[in-house]
Structure 1
Amino acid sequence: MNIKQIKALLFILLPLLGYSQSNPLELWYTKPAAQWEETLPLGNGRLGLMPDGGIATEKLVLNEITLWSGSPQDANNYKAYSFLPQIRELLLANKNKEAQKLIDENFICKGAGSGSGNGADVPFGAYQVLGDMTLNFDYKTKSKAQNYTRNLDLQTAVAATQFTIDGVTYKREYFTGFGDDASFIRLTSSKKGKLNFTVQLRRPERFKTENGTDNSLVMTGQLNNGTDGKGMKYEVKVKAQTTDGNAVYANSAIEIKNATEVVLLISAGTDYKDKNFESSVDKILEAAMQKKYQDQKKKHIENYQKLFNRVTLNLGKPAQKTLPTNERLDAFIKQSDSDTALPVLFYQYGRYLSISSTRLGLLPPNLQGLWAKDVQTPWNSDYHLDVNVQMNHWALETANLSELILPLKDLTKAIVPNGEKTAKAYYNADGWVAHVITNVWGFTEPGESASWGITKSGSGWLCNNLWSHYLYTNDQAYLAEIYPVLKGAAQFYKSMLVKDPETGWLVTSPSVSPENSFLLPNGDASHVCMGPTIDNQIIRELFNNVIIASKKLGLDNDLSAELEKQLKLLPPPGVVSPDGRIMEWLKDYKEEDPQHRHISHLYGLYPGSLITPENKPELVDAIKKTLEVRGDDGTSWSIAYKMLFWARLKDGNRAYKLFKTILRQTHDTNINYGPGGGVYANLLSAGPPFQIDGNFGATAGIGEMLIQSHAGFIELLPAMPDAWLKEGEVKGLKAEGNFTINMKWKNGKVIQYEILSPSSEKVKIKVNGELKEITSSKL
């Protein structure tokens, strides 16, 4: 038996024995996807593609990042501010329930708002699936497929499916191009002329499919704008290239007959900021068809790897046996320490999803990234501003993907003009504000219910993400660009703060601690309050950042002086209640749900840096008790947030426990607000349902376990769990100050490290418990 024959035999036997013949950074399966939660997500920041690897029929879910229903609207209630004095008087009189009623009647958005999360057919709109492409195969036999495998290679952003029928090996390869911006599917058979299939396009509603005059399959439509039905327009176009056989374009389909190799090219676009989108779709396809498939694939991999290859991570040698990913998840929960490669895979998967779901000049990832499957997506798959869209970006800086936060910067700048109207309409205040939700149409108004809709930390929280990018890059031109956004947000809070007569502190009123409620002394539940802790923390942080920025840019000395005066009157970052926990509200209210998914009052610990074990050691025990009472379970994003809190507290084993909880496999797709979060078989985060923030939050959590730089120094391995202490290596992580970190460790000790920067600089680092100052090496 020669080498070639041995390799062929191993290819057949290894999957049967439970071994993967692939690289470590791969999702690998031995069955087609039975439902969407098992498909493989591909994306290039604009186009999304999710193949299920079906044998007789393959369904590929298509997405385009800009496809939203709804339309621009002005839902501001311009008489709302006239009710503000009465609302504040009720709150001062401890009549929170009455204040909440008055807000519901006079201080929310006009119209339907978000449609209570079902806004596809109202002006708010929803991010929607583009459609489905279905391939129906005729193998001219009733024999079953054997030796089935499918995989997603994170190293190349290429997916593949392979199986054998009657001695013929069929292969499919898929990627969304980082070259010509089209999606590609290459199908081959090992014997000549064995490919026979049809290609069809459809979506649940509002579509027309036909054959184009240019030998193509075209799907077009127009979404509902929530008023006259004439919303965003879209187009999807598919063409086929064959080396032999025939491609027949007829009956609103493409029929492939007796081919050996076929390449399907997909282009799509919308009229969101592109009135000539049909022409753009054609140009992309024309350019792609002029190049060989292998050249397209090579260019795609090169462009993708410019980002992905910046970071490598190794947590030690795992056991040799590698199960299919769905089985591997279950095995990890039972005995995680033996599979040190799965945390690496999940971390790099988070980086892969970030690269795949956004890029410069486009939109930031929404609640489902780039991979919706519905017309009415959960919570409209919008941009939730009370943790979710921020969490989508937390991992980026440390993970050396800094520029991917810039689409969020652009979205934030775009909502400022409407935010200025909202600030005047509701608070008669300067500057701009955004509340809980926004969309591609610039919604900044309060939501349609006082219980959650008047949270006003959204704009300040967005500023935290924007400021973080500056801290990591030291980019002065960027600071000048975002300064008006930060300044406007600070001006809003400065002009609407009121004095709490009991404490003398300046606080927001009215407000809500995101989505959470409390019990009044008479037992009534309320959400509306004065000065929730998250508001106080965000305002303190924002004021400090604006003061720093104004000094660096030589601007607004008078404003800085006013902010410095107000800083002295803000509540402290954390107030400890009589029972030893951090207070969530200005008063020591009893929680209606002690294990609520939101933990907003610990914002100052993460993503903020107002509270650290170094600068506020007196608060550490109170934070731990707060987290203990909250519990470890929850939605996937909530578990990830708790993982980040424990990492900031330098408790690696507790952070790792939460990471294991995130990796429990679930099949539940029903909307859930309580415990039970995890991941699906394709590693996408299950809220449930699918929310991509859990992926990104856990990715950020792993980064925080490896390196922290928010406390005035760079700390290596600040929160390492016992499971990862034996040995490991990471290259390419970033720290505040534009430092790049490489390090190796063994038996819990860093044995080698490099601190690199564009120019040699003095920097404080903490290594193996020792704080010292070194000079960085020049990149």
Structure 2
Amino acid sequence: MNTNLTKKTFFILLITFFSKNANAQSNHVLWYNQPAEFFEESLVLGNGKMGATVFGGANSDKIYLNDATLWSGEPVNAKMNPDAYKNIPAIREALKNENYKLADELNKKVQGKNSESFAPLGTLEINNSEKGKAVNYHRELDLSNAISKVSYEMAGIKYTREYFVSAPDQIMIIKLTTDQKGALNFDINLKSLLKSNVEVRNNILMMTGTAPIHENPGYTVLPKYLEVKERGTKFTTLIQIKKTDGKITNSRESLILRDATEAIIYVSVATSFNGFDKNPATEGVDDIAIAAQNLNKAYAKPFDKVKESHISDYQKFYNRVNLDLGKTTAPDLPTDERLLRYSEGKEDKNLEILYFNFGRYLLISSSRTMGVPANLQGIWNPYLNPPWSSNYTMNINVEENYWLAENTNLSEMHLPLLSFIKNLSVTGKVTAKTFYGVNEGWASAHNSDIWAMTNPVGTFGKDDPSWACWPLSGAWLSTHIWEHYVFTQDKNYLKNEGYPIMKGASEFFLGWMTTDKNGKLITSPSTSPENKFIAPDGYIGATMYGGTADLAMIRECFEKTINASKVLNIDTAFRTKLEAALSKFYPYQVGKKGNLQEWYFDWNDEDPKHRHQSQLFGLFPGHQITPEKTPDLAAAARKTLEIKGDETTGWSKGWRINLWARLWDGNRAYKMYRELLRYVDPDGKKADKARRGGGTYPNLFDAHPPFQIDGNFGGAAAVAEMLVQSDDNEIRLLPALPDAWEAGFVKGICARGGFEIEMSWENKSLKKVTIISKNGGKTTLISGDKKQDITLKKGEKLEINW
């Protein structure tokens, strides 16, 4: 038996050796033959708090550093516009009179400040003394262990670098080696776009600084620094070198290593952020002490131990899911060339898997800080003025970031969003009263930031209501709480944390909704995120009443709150109120084109192909519309998508793929998944025929453009949605399997009800399925025409040959 084990181990090692050394076409390694020149070519690392963007240059390596908790601003004054709610009756009166122009003007009076910005912490540079031409250059990111590597030769000497950001040790490690004794000679520098100071103390390079205090006047104006003492989030970066030989010296602002053979660079970052409601200057944590403690602890450990604990910690999440889409004949190419080849319509199943795996990698790497979810750029931002402030855009984007959390077995990564929603429910109580005149529950709007800002944005009346005036995000976000429960079956969480927040969201909407002339419950005022209608008199407006998206989101919010109260067996009286309200909702309407109406009336859109498809919320991520249970509405949703067309931005395409999957149209979903992976040149690249538009950058970042991470997350979630769909009572296996994926295997996809799935298929038919119950329960498995009812005990596993 030992001999067999030895032989088996030997063959596994042999296969691993050859696959790695031949750089065999991979579904978990991104690799390139040249350093990154642009941000969209770089490789990113993160431990859920600290982010590192690695360029991998040979003569000079540049690494952007970020900390998830470094934002401009300070705790929000939720009472910023205390009389805003007094405008609501006048808006409703204007709408009653069908005066949409006046309604738009009045709606601007129900606006507050814009969000704060996610800030760039700094740039680390490693400058080599030897300048020359690098040959045999190779740069990679291995998703299976969250480690990036660079290797090259210069003047006959081989250099290697290894980079990772450890969650257990809260440290970034860069290991540099050379195959010739004493050939390592480099300087390390730090700089920041923020107000900062750099010095060297006891051979430790130290940068300290403060994020700006500013009220962002819009999305295009650089923040102005206000010289105000005791305000703003402080930050610290500490860098220390551990060497085997050679000599460490320093200048005033640089660390210098000469004549070394191997060196390990330790990078520690921290901020004074101490919660959304604490002044980071006067009530903040000690960022210098935290950074020093993390540095000292990691420095005292052997490199191998730090690396081993990093890999072990990361793989306990990453290894839960394994996807195989069958045989591929695609050649082995660097990732940028693979993407270009794939964009020409060629087959590359492993690239499709790589993109899915990359989405899971990004969520593990950017979402492990409670109360601080992944933002529009995850945690990777080099800009002082990032696109859309790199904030939390809550009319789709922050929610889309988390569509893959539960179903791709990363439930723990959902917790930063769930704890953030709890913060919103605090500031949102004030917003409900002062902006909307509702004294029960909490409300949140279109944008937020680390300070859990909940007011409608728009710079106090300066911006367009089509995007600025939208009080519905509390409804959407509250459904994430139910999703977490229904996947995990964690009743304690639902009782102690989740349900009170869900109830608060529902209470607000009970108070906010009003009736139309027929006594049906609607919202007024209402907007449909970022889209505009054409009124009968030709006016192009945003403010109306009874928008479909509003009603779909509130319906989902009420239904999930009802479900939660039943599970917990509490709040019968409140549940009855919600049920009564639901029975009076203005129903979905099918328009003259056969589409699902976006507006209360059958109006045309200003932009019929608009990127938002908020009126389809009930199809996905909601559960109100299905081809089986509501075929007419499903057909109307399909027509809406056909009118909109397939050409759209990254995050929107990610949403549309999920929508097509829910319509059980695997081939249409797959067509759009391929389009999501269309090669896009880096934003700054000057070329005669630059490839622009929505798609995927060379480093697999989503091109909105510019980079927005939600497309990565939405696309990865859609792969899982094509393979497994579920609700509280049933699990559909291979509901939207495209012809291109005729054979395959998946392990670790999760389903509602607390189940985990492993299955294989051939010729587009399910062959074998193994289902595990995390907490015990019953469900119905469905694939094709076949159904099977199952009941499992906690931890029980059932294997079925289908």
TM-score by length of 1: 0.93
Q: Distance in 2 between matches of 1:446 and 1:25?
A: 41
Q: Distance in 1 between matches of 2:122 and 2:549?
A: 40
Distance verdict in 2 for CA 1:13–1:660, change over 3 Å:
closer
Alignment of 1:617-766 (within 5 A): 617-667=631-681, 669=683, 676-710=693-727, 712-725=729-742, 727-758=743-774, 761-766=777-782
Between stretches 327-336 and 689-698, larger displacement belongs to 327-336
Which residue of 2 is the match for residue 204 of structure 1? 193
Which residue of 2 is the match for residue 770 of structure 1? 786
Matched, 1:447 2:457: yes
Which residue of 1 is the match for residue 547 of structure 2? 532
SS in 2 for 1:618: helix
Which residue of 1 is the match for residue 7 of structure 2? none
Q: Is the 8 A contact 2:324 2:745 kept in 1?
A: yes
Q: Distance in 2 between matches of 1:567 and 1:159?
A: 52
CA drift of 1:13 comes to 14
Distance verdict in 2 for CA 1:615–1:13, change over 3 Å:
closer
Equivalent residue for 2:630, pick from 609, 616, 627: 616
SS in 2 for 1:426: helix
CA drift of 1:145 comes to 1.4
Paired residue type of 1:768:
G
Matched, 1:30 2:18: no
SS in 2 for 1:239: strand
Which residue of 2 is the match for residue 458 of structure 1? 473
Distance verdict in 2 for CA 1:180–1:759, change over 3 Å:
closer
Which residue of 2 is the match for residue 318 of structure 1? 328
Q: Distance in 2 between matches of 1:553 and 1:313?
A: 36
Q: Structure 1: 5+ residue runs without aligned partners?
A: 1-6, 115-123
Paired residue type of 2:74:
S
Map Cα deviations across residues 215-261 of structure 1 (whole Å, 9 max, x no partner).
20011111211265431110101000110001112221011101110
Q: Distance in 1 between matches of 2:596 and 2:239?
A: 56
Matched, 1:394 2:403: yes
Between stretches 620-629 and 219-228, larger displacement belongs to 219-228
Aligned residues: 744
Between stretches 617-626 and 31-40, larger displacement belongs to 617-626
Map Cα deviations across residues 293-328 of structure 1 (whole Å, 9 max, x no partner).
111111100010000000001111222621100000
Map Cα deviations across residues 156-176 of structure 1 (whole Å, 9 max, x no partner).
000000011122110000000
Matched, 1:151 2:140: yes
Q: Structure 2: 5+ residue runs without aligned partners?
A: 1-12, 215-225, 275-283, 685-691, 798-802
Q: Distance in 1 between matches of 2:646 and 2:706?
A: 19
Map Cα deviations across residues 79-109 of structure 1 (whole Å, 9 max, x no partner).
12222111101001110111111122x2111
Which residue of 2 is the match for residue 328 of structure 1? 338
Map Cα deviations across residues 35-70 of structure 1 (whole Å, 9 max, x no partner).
111010100001111111101111011111100011
Q: Is the 8 A contact 1:11 1:21 kept in 2?
A: no
Q: Is the 8 A contact 2:120 2:194 kept in 1?
A: no
Equivalent residue for 1:128, pick from 102, 119, 122: 119
CA drift of 1:760 comes to 5.2
Paired residue type of 1:524:
Y
Runs of 4+ in 1 over 6 A off after TM superposition: 10-15
CA drift of 1:759 comes to 5.2
Which residue of 2 is the match for residue 50 of structure 1? 53
CA drift of 1:769 comes to 2.8
Q: Distance in 2 between matches of 1:473 and 1:284?
A: 33
SS in 1 for 2:557: helix
CA drift of 1:775 comes to 3.7
Which residue of 1 is the match for residue 279 of structure 2? none
Q: Is the 8 A contact 2:371 2:423 kept in 1?
A: no
Which residue of 1 is the match for residue 578 of structure 2? 563
Which residue of 1 is the match for residue 96 of structure 2? 92
Which residue of 2 is the match for residue 257 of structure 1? 258
Distance verdict in 2 for CA 1:314–1:278, change over 3 Å:
same
Map Cα deviations across residues 382-423 of structure 1 (whole Å, 9 max, x no partner).
111100000000011110001211111111111212211111
Distance verdict in 2 for CA 1:521–1:23, change over 3 Å:
closer
Q: Distance in 2 between matches of 1:13 and 1:618?
A: 51
Q: Distance in 1 between matches of 2:371 and 2:190?
A: 25
Q: Distance in 2 between matches of 1:580 and 1:42?
A: 47
Q: Is the 8 A contact 2:728 2:753 kept in 1?
A: no
SS in 2 for 1:41: strand
SS in 2 for 1:244: coil
Which residue of 2 is the match for residue 495 of structure 1? 511
Matched, 1:71 2:74: yes
Matched, 1:605 2:619: yes
Matched, 1:231 2:232: yes
TM-score by length of 2: 0.90
Q: Distance in 2 between matches of 1:12 and 1:555?
A: 60
Identity of aligned residues (%): 39
Q: Distance in 2 between matches of 1:13 and 1:465?
A: 40
Map Cα deviations across residues 578-631 of structure 1 (whole Å, 9 max, x no partner).
121000011111100011110000000000001111110112221111001111
Q: Is the 8 A contact 1:46 1:362 kept in 2?
A: no
Q: Distance in 1 between matches of 2:197 and 2:578?
A: 57
Computed over aligned residues only, the root mean square deviation of the Cα atoms, in angstroms, reads: 1.9
Q: Distance in 2 between matches of 1:622 and 1:373?
A: 43
SS in 2 for 1:487: helix
Q: Is the 8 A contact 2:72 2:213 kept in 1?
A: yes
Distance verdict in 2 for CA 1:43–1:421, change over 3 Å:
same
Map Cα deviations across residues 268-306 of structure 1 (whole Å, 9 max, x no partner).
010001521211111100100111111111110001000
Which residue of 1 is the match for residue 5 of structure 2? none
Between stretches 221-230 and 707-716, larger displacement belongs to 221-230
Q: Is the 8 A contact 1:668 1:688 kept in 2?
A: no
Q: Distance in 1 between matches of 2:332 and 2:768?
A: 30
Matched, 1:291 2:301: yes
Q: Distance in 1 between matches of 2:514 and 2:182?
A: 77
CA drift of 1:711 comes to 7.0
Between stretches 50-59 and 763-772, larger displacement belongs to 763-772
Q: Distance in 2 between matches of 1:276 and 1:14?
A: 44
Q: Is the 8 A contact 1:49 1:61 kept in 2?
A: yes
Which residue of 2 is the match for residue 587 of structure 1? 601
Q: Is the 8 A contact 2:533 2:606 kept in 1?
A: yes
Q: Is the 8 A contact 2:175 2:262 kept in 1?
A: yes
CA drift of 1:426 comes to 2.1
Between stretches 26-35 and 757-766, larger displacement belongs to 757-766
Paired residue type of 1:778:
E
Paired residue type of 1:87:
I
SS in 2 for 1:163: strand
Q: Distance in 2 between matches of 1:346 and 1:426?
A: 42
SS in 1 for 2:403: coil
Which residue of 2 is the match for residue 368 of structure 1? 377
Distance verdict in 2 for CA 1:683–1:656, change over 3 Å:
same
SS in 1 for 2:736: coil
Distance verdict in 2 for CA 1:20–1:13, change over 3 Å:
closer
Distance verdict in 2 for CA 1:336–1:723, change over 3 Å:
farther
Paired residue type of 1:259:
A
Which residue of 2 is the match for residue 3 of structure 1? none
Q: Is the 8 A contact 1:360 1:403 kept in 2?
A: no
Which residue of 2 is the match for residue 179 of structure 1? 168
Q: Distance in 2 between matches of 1:243 and 1:57?
A: 22
Paired residue type of 1:456:
P
Paired residue type of 1:128:
A
Which residue of 2 is the match for residue 518 of structure 1? 533
Paired residue type of 2:81:
N
CA drift of 1:555 comes to 2.5
Matched, 1:484 2:500: yes
SS in 2 for 1:544: helix
